[in-house]
Each structure stands twice: as C-alpha cells, then as structure tokens.
Amino acid sequence: MKYFYVFILCWLSISVQAQWTKLPAFTTDPLTSVDFLDTENGLVCGSNKIWRTTNGSSSWTAVYTGDANISLEEVRWASDQVAVAVGIDIANNVGLIVRSTNGGQSWAKVSNSVVSIFTDLTFVSETVGYLCGGNTRILKTTNGGATWTSQFSDNNSDLYSIHFLNENEGYAAGGYANTGRLLHTTNGGSTWTDVSLPAPFLIQSVFFPSANVGYVAGVAGEMRKTVDGGANWTEPMTANTSNILDLYFFDNDFGYLVGGTLTVTSLQRTENGGSYWSNVAPNTGAGLFSIDVVGTTGYAVGVNGTVLKTDIMVAADEQLKAMGVTVFPNPAFDKIQVVAEQPLYFVEIYDANGRMLRRQEVVGNDKAELDVSALPAGCFFLKIGLENGINMMKMAKL
C-alpha cells in the first residue's frame, strides 16, 4: 500500500498548473540576475549587492556589498561551493568579477584588467565557464572562475547574452545600435564566427534548447527563431512591445520570456515553439530582468526588488511516448531504462529539492539504463536530453 500511495502522489502532482506569485520584497534595489543551485539554495544580484537564500526563497541575506562604484549584472553557481558574479567597476573602468568558494557566504574580487562591462555569465561544468560583455568581449575560465582568459574581441559590437548547449557549442549575442549580432562556436570558444541573422534590433537574450532550434530576442519585443541551426530565421509573434531581456526554454516548444519596462511586467509563456504566447505575469508594476528554473521551480526577478516564483508542470508518460520516448519501469525498484526514437545525450535524476543525484552521458545512442537501487522510496524528476531538446518527467522509486 505504501508503494501504491507514492506512485499516486507522483502521478497526481503532474497536473498542477503553473501560477506565478510575487514574494515579499527584501530590497528595493533592482535585481538583475537570479540563479538557483537547487530548490533551497539560490543567489540574486543587483546594484552593488548579492543576496543568498538557503530555504527556497523564504528569506534572503545580503552576502556581498561592494562600494558605490560597482554594478553587478549576472550571478551564477559553478558548483555547490563556487559561485561567480560579474559587472563593472566604474571607478577603475574595468570589468568586475567577484567569486565565492564557500557556497556564497563570502565573496572576493578576481583580478581583471579588461576594460569592459561584463554582462552575462554561464558555466558548462564545475570548472569551465564563459562570460561576455562590451566591445564583443568573451572570456573563458577552466578553473571555476579563479582566472579568466580572453577569447574574442573586435570592438564592433557589445554582447549581452551567452548560452552554451554543451562544453563545445555555444552562442553569444548582442549588437550595436539597431543591428543584432550573433556569434557561434563549436570548439569550446577557440574560434567564434558570425551567424547570418536578419535581426534589425539589439539582441538581449539567446537560448538554444537543441542544436537546431534557437531563439534570439531583444528590444521592443522583437524575436527571431531558427529550426536549422541558424541558417534561416523566422519571426514569432509575441504580442509583446516592451523589451525582452531573458529567455528560458525546457525544450523546443515550451519556454518563457521576461522583460518589460520600469512599470510594466512582461512574463509570457509558450507551449508551441513561439507560435502563441500567453501572458502569465501577476500585476506587479515592475519589469523583469532574469528568469531561472531549477527542477520544476521557476524564479523571475526585476525592478524594485521584485521576485516571482512558480511551480511548473512537467510531462506525463503519455506525452513523452508521443515524442518517441519510453521510460520503464515507472515506478522502479532498482533500475530504470530510457529508450528514445532519436539520439539520446544524457539522463539526469533530481530529487524533490532540485538536487541532481545521477547523471549519465549517452553520447548519441538511443538507450540509457540508470541504477536507482540506492535511492529512497519517493518522487524524483528525470531530465532527458534529446536531439530535439530537453524534456522532464516525474518518476517514482519503490
């Protein structure tokens, strides 16, 4: 009876709809970035401060306050102990990098002499990360942010967003004036090439949920989509006239955009690859700068210390089967198999707090088997990386 009860709980929770709610404010500063390690531990930054939560956003503590001459743009976890934030040191006219090695409790500046604002940051592993900024700057770290090496700069544009699909392939986006620019690498940043992009607007965010499908978006609600790896682009209709500042996609079709103005909140959701976007924003009267999802919990942050939170619906078994993916047995005792009708790249298992417990690289095969015998009975999440995108589902362990 216990095992049946666990399975029913996992199944019923699939049908919960995603509602965004505004959390109590802990600051009036604009929050420019949010990143959660798991559903308990998260970081936000803005102005000259970084805040940390260890209880799933129930409370926040200021863990870094710089002088009035700095401005922080982005913060990211590299591991459960290492995190990095970037921005600009106005007094010294250089890009700012600050780093924590104790889980975000304390922070120190990383030496840097590059004259540029740093605007975005991503980590593809605990050691390898990339940042971008003004003057088409792209820097790379291979030691968790302790040191950074310049990879690219031509002073022809500014970059505002950087996104990697894996350790080798990534994109950096931005532009100059009313012209967008998109750079692409397939060798871990050793070389970057321009992607031909009919985007007469400044790009603020780039996101590729798979190798072929990608989105760029920016000022005045402009967006472009590719389904052939950037060879051709179409214009989805977002019904959004304010700036789009950040994108997040679970797979090729299901995603969010955030943006707005100082007094207008833009938070929209699509379930069909951008053909239709629905407004899911609560009436906060404040624009949003950043969105992040860990497990099935989403956060968005913005003007006046705004923090929004949601629980997001994930795929049921029959939805995955329709996409040619079979997961069995579910519920499972000791092993679980994932079989796909397309190349399968990885399978990850997360607990209810969003912590990754298992990861298995598959390298293009169509089948994976994971040992779950050591997991306790309960509900878990599978994150399945496929050729056409990333999908999530719930599983039960008996």
The structure tokens listed for 151 are 């990879």
* Cβ neighbours of 194 (radius 10 Å): 12
Position 85 scores a pLDDT of 98
Instruction: Using the Cα atoms of residue 232, residue 211, residue 165 and residue 314 in order, give the sign of their dihedral.
Output: positive
The pLDDT tens digits for 323-351 are 788 888 888 889 999 998 888 888 888 87
Percent of the chain with pLDDT over 70: 90
Question: In this model, does residue 196 exceed pLDDT 50?
Answer: yes
The structure tokens listed for 25 are 């404010």
Rounded distance between C-alpha atoms, residue 294 and residue 271, angstroms: 19
The pLDDT tens digits for 213-259 are 999 999 999 999 999 999 999 998 776 778 999 999 887 888 899 99
The pLDDT tens digits for 50-95 are 999 999 999 999 999 999 999 999 999 999 999 999 999 999 999 9
The pLDDT tens digits for 128-185 are 999 999 999 999 999 999 999 999 999 999 999 999 998 999 999 999 988 999 999 9
Rounded distance between C-alpha atoms, residue 287 and residue 242, angstroms: 9
Position 396 scores a pLDDT of 84
Looking at domain 317-397, does it have CATH number 2.60.40.3080? yes
Q: Average pLDDT in the 359-388 region?
A: 82
Nearest one of 299, 352, 286, 249 to 35, comparing CA atoms: 299
Domain coordinates of the chain in residue numbers? 19-311, 317-397
Q: What CATH topology corresponds to 19-311?
A: Methylamine Dehydrogenase; Chain H (2.130.10)
pLDDT band at 2 (very low <50, low <70, confident <90, very high): very low
* Cβ neighbours of 302 (radius 10 Å): 29
